[in-house]
Each structure stands twice: as C-alpha cells, then as structure tokens.
Homo-oligomer: A and B are copies of this chain.
C-alpha cells in the first residue's frame, strides 16, 4: 500500500465525521455554504497527523477523531475567509464559497465552521481537563493564524520582505495548525504537557518545511504534478521565500529583471527566465536546503519513540510533506 492509500484510510473517519456534522439544516443556504469547501476534498493532512501522533505516543486514536475533525474544520474556516479576502475564485478544484453563495453567506459559513470546531472538541469522549486545554490551544492558534494572514496582507504593501519575517508569517498562517494537530493528538494520547509541546514544535517545523517546499514546487514541478500551471506564484508576483532569497542573492542585473517579471504581466518564457535566475543565484538550492533542515530536525524527534506502525507512517508523512513531487 502506498502512502496516499494509507493516508486515505486514516482520513476516512474524518470524512465521516465531517459529513455527520455538516449535514444540511435550516437555513439551508448557510449550511450548504458551510459544507461546500470541507466536503470538496483536501488531503486531510492535519487531522491525519493528529491521529498518528495519538497512536505513536501509545494512545487510542479513536478518541482523537473529533478533535482531529475540529482541526480540519478550523483549516476550512480559514480557507473560506481567506478566499473572501483574496477574492480567489477556486479552491480544491471547485468554486470558492463566496463565488457561489455571496460575500455575506461566505463570512457566516466561515463563522459556522469555526463554531462547529469547538462543538466537536467538547463533544469528544476525553477528560474535561484535556478538553479545556485543547479548546484554549486551538483558540490561541486561530488567533495566531489571523496574525499570519494580516502579516501576509501587510507584505503586499511592502517593497521588500526579510526572510525571517516571511518565515514568521508562514509559521503563523500555515505551520502552527500542524503543531496544534500533534499537540492535541499527544495530549489525547496521554502525554504530559512538555512532551506534547516538543511534538507540537516538531510538527510546526514540518509545517514550515511543507510551505517552503510548496513554494519550491510551484517553480520547479510540472503542471502534471501541481494540478495547476507551473510558476503561478511568479505569475502573481507573490513574495515567497524563493523570491525573497533570489532578490537577496541575485546580482543587480538579475534582480532588476526578476522584479520586472514579478511586477508585470508575463508569459511562459518570462517564467522560465525567472526560474533560471532563481537557480543561478542559488535561491532554489537554498530553499531545498531549508526545507530539508526542517525535515531532518523533525525526524530526530520521531526517533525518540519506539518503532511502531504509527511512527513509520509519521516518518513517511513528513517525507511526503517536504519531498513530494520530486
């Protein structure tokens, strides 16, 4: 069985729980809008990570299913609201929520998913002390995700972004929800707070590697692998880590040309030229190195746990997150 199949099996109870909670009620427009993106698919990496962590620390991941589904619900709430803010039309291969249901209902659908997540956590068959702890952690993480999204919005008005600021932005916007998955899975699995925080930190770092790898892939992988045209970040002029590193490393001529391509309409040849500049100045390999650094650090933490099916799956998951598509 390959990794995709293994993940799909782990994701089954998540999908089932989503379907149970997100059934259509009155007013139907609100509930159809709420279910639209979560039920359109997605890899379910966050909830699967929560389940695997729970098993790896010796817990019973059955008890973590509601919590894991809550994280997927939170993830989807942020996608629905982000698409409104960025006015993106497509998500998971379907129309974004607001393009079908309108701005107001999309905002409400996000709020509804946010609320559902806390209903799921408190519906869990776990100790009340753990429940309260997970609610607090997830609420804190949602606030941090909002900070990350605000930083991303702020960056759009900035001339230059420092690598450390970019990393902080993706840590907040993307990575710490992976951290919350590992933390919650570990707590439900019975670890103490310190051990859960170490796993949270490990998973947050993997989340960073995941996002850096995403930026890397966008420039280097084929349309077949990506499921969208290659170089779309460059086309949109996004300041990814790859672009930031390239602007820092390029000579003045390369830099001028790269900025020109990023900040104007560009064709396929321009994209190829931009990627070549990123390659020549060492930005591509720098991103590759950084993504791998996060992966290696995470591997070391996993090796503290006894060998098990869950640990092996976790290792494969990490590997997939930071080397997929190549």
A interface, CB within 8 angstroms of B = 26-27, 29-30, 81, 84-85, 103-105, 107-108, 110-112, 114-119, 121-123, 127-129, 131-133, 135-136, 138-140, 142-143, 146-147, 149-151, 153-154
Q: How far is the CA of A94 from the CA of B117 in the complex (A)?
A: 33
Q: How far is the CA of A112 from the CA of B151 in the complex (A)?
A: 14
Say whether A115 contacts B132, CB under 8 Å.
no
Residues of B within 8 A of A107 (CB): 81, 84-85, 107, 110
Say whether A140 contacts B119, CB under 8 Å.
yes
Residues of B within 8 A of A129 (CB): 128
Give A103's nearest chain B residue, CB to CB: B85
Residues of B within 8 A of A116 (CB): 139, 143
A301 to chain B, nearest CB (A): 27
Residues of B within 8 A of A112 (CB): 143, 146
Say whether B146 contacts A115, CB under 8 Å.
yes
Given contacts A115-B139, A115-B142, A118-B135, 15 further A-B pairs with CB under 8 A are: A81-B108, A81-B111, A104-B149, A105-B150, A108-B146, A108-B150, A111-B114, A111-B146, A115-B140, A118-B136, A119-B139, A119-B143, A122-B136, A123-B136, A132-B135
Using A128-B131, A139-B119 as known contacts, say yes or no to A27 and B151 having CB atoms under 8 A apart.
yes
Number of copies: 2
Q: How far is the CA of A293 from the CA of B159 in the complex (A)?
A: 62
Using A30-B147, A122-B132, A147-B30 as known contacts, say yes or no to A153 and B105 having CB atoms under 8 A apart.
yes
Q: Which of A26, A129, A135 has the most CB of B within 10 A?
A: A135
Identify the 4 closest CB pairs spanning chains A and B, nearest first: A118-B139, A122-B136, A128-B128, A85-B104
Name A111's contact: one of B27, B121, B142 (CB within 8 Å). B142
A175 to chain B, nearest CB (A): 17
Residues of B within 8 A of A104 (CB): 85, 149, 153
A265 to chain B, nearest CB (A): 24
Give A33's nearest chain B residue, CB to CB: B150
Say whether A147 contacts B26, CB under 8 Å.
yes
